[in-house]
Structure 1
Amino acid sequence: MQAIEFKAKSYDGLINIPDTYKNWYNNTVVLLTKPKPLPQETGHPELKRFFVQFNADLTGYRFNREAANER
């Protein structure tokens, strides 16, 4: 199996193969995509600042299932 790599955008469900790969036209291909990273994966500082208020130190915390079920 041969592999090629190029960047392209899809339009109306179609992806244009660059002319440099015209020998691939009318052949069966397998397409692998690389999605855009989610915002939390890119390290946006504004997201980190927002979520810092929800950080809690749970060191030594023990969950008591019986007490939770009593509520």
Structure 2
Amino acid sequence: GYGVAIGATAFLFGLAHMGYGQVYPILMPIVMGILLGYVVVKTKNLFSSITAHVTFNLVTFVVYIISQSLQSSTL
């Protein structure tokens, strides 16, 4: 069913996002993969999951840039 497909895809998504052989960072991408898989199943639309992924990445990037800016201004 969908659960196995989402789980397997989420695991592969986590592996694809694993950085430099570290195992811990794989957990968040697996959770994200499960959520994105759920979005696909519920909406029956892959584009909605892609949009959610891009939005997540964009927000993460903006938060990173702002935090770097704040750190450099306080030094």
| TM-score normalised according to structure 2 size | 0.27
Name the structure where strand makes up a greater proportion of residues.
Answer: 1
Name the structure where helix makes up a greater proportion of residues.
Answer: 2
| TM-score normalised according to structure 1 size | 0.27
Task: Tell which has more relative contact order, 1 or 2 (C-alpha 8 A, sep 6+).
Answer: 2
Instruction: Look at both structures and tell me which one has the larger radius of gyration over its CA atoms.
Output: 1
